[in-house]
């Protein structure tokens, strides 16, 4: 008879739970890295271009309600710059690596085209399954 402790231990030691925990920790560390890059490198660049690194002070009031559009601008700029950094420094290099690995893999062909109907047939076929014409062996 298995106890709940044994079942819980098996649950925790399953690969997908450990993988998820590792992915979460790596994701949190990566998020901190990207936020630091935005705060320390890109925000000063925005300040150099626009003359003001922090837009939190920008507000307007309508009937006593304060609209903090400056805070929204800060969050919007942070989002766009984070998306930019992730796209150009993570997604593009990964896509390039994946494309290179796909180019290297050229498996042996298992099919060929029928010369009559141009459908895909087995490479060893002597007759096309679609148009029934005889096909010369490869």
Per-residue pLDDT of 56-83, as tens digits, reads: 788 999 999 999 888 888 788 778 877 8
Q: Which of 66 and 37 is assigned the larger pLDDT?
A: 66
Query: Which residue, 38, 34, 67, is CA-closest to 53?
Result: 38
Question: CATH 1.10.1200.120: does it fit domain 4-106?
Answer: yes
Query: Which residue, 45, 61, 64, is CA-closest to 53?
Result: 45
Cα 29 → chain centroid: 17
Q: Report yes or no: 115 and 134 within 8 Å, Cβ to Cβ.
A: no
Above 70 in pLDDT, residue 38? yes
pTM of the model: 0.47
Domain ranges of the chain: 4-106, 109-138
3-class DSSP state for residue 84?
helix
> Rounded mean pLDDT of the chain?
82
3-class DSSP state for residue 23?
helix
């Amino acid at each position: 008879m298995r106890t709940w402790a044994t079942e819980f231990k098996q649950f925790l030691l399953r690969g997908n739970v450990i993988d998820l925990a590792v992915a979460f920790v790596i994701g949190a560390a990566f998020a901190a890295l990207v936020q630091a890059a935005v705060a320390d490198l890109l925000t000063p660049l925005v300040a150099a271009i626009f003359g003001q690194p922090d837009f939190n002070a920008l507000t307007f009031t309508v009937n006593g309600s304060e609209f903090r559009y400056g805070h929204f601008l800060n969050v919007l700029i942070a989002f766009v710059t984070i998306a930019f950094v992730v796209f150009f420094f993570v997604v593009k290099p990964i896509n390039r690596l994946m494309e290179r690995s796909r180019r290297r893999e050229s498996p042996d062909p298992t099919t060929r085209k029928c010369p009559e109907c141009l459908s895909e047939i087995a490479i060893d076929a002597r007759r096309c399954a679609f148009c029934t014409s005889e096909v010369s062996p490869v």
